[in-house]
Amino acid sequence: MKRYLLDTHVVIWALSKRSRLSARTLRILDEEEVHISALSVWEMLSKHQSRKLPLPSGSLIQVLQQTGAKMLALSAEHAEAGLSLDALHGDPVDRMLVGTARVEGMILLTRDAELLQRAAPLLGPLLQEA
């Protein structure tokens, strides 16, 4: 079984806009081992706090765990590996997700075109378009 790390927007769409996800991505969500970084949880809660992202009421962690996804804590190794993505890619969350995928040997699932382009040389087969 493959292990996948979801980019934050994939998590958001899985919760509220499943129609934006491809049939292949929906199959992955239903059948494969899926992980969500603590950083994505933080990003979602930050956007919610600034009123940019509506979220289900209650504990976001519990909602995410009910989907069958596993929560993945950040480590110092993830942070160090996150520096491998070109600093020109300005989103530090994306950089950390790339580092996490590299360290954990997980496939990063994203639809972010810039991330797909910049991370491909680093992740190779560990990068997949959602």
Tell me the pLDDT tens digit for each residue of 68-117: 999 999 999 999 998 877 665 678 899 999 999 999 999 999 999 988 88
Q: Span 32-51, mean pLDDT?
A: 96
* Tokens 């991330």, located at residue: 115
Taking residues 4-15, what's their average pLDDT?
Answer: 96
Can you tell me the distance from the alpha carbon of 51 to that of 5, in angstroms, rounded to the nearest whole number? 26
56-65 per-position pLDDT tens digit: 888 999 999 9
Residues 3, 107: Cα–Cα separation, whole Å: 6
pLDDT tier for residue 15 given thresholds of 50, 70 and 90: very high
pTM, entire model: 0.93
Residue ranges and CATH numbers for the domains of the chain are 3-129 (3.40.50.1010)
Q: Backbone phi, then psi, for 35, in 5-degree steps?
A: -125, 150
Average of per-residue pLDDT across 15-35: 95
Q: Cα–Cα distance between 109 and 59 in angstroms, integer?
A: 24
Rounded mean pLDDT of 38-43?
97
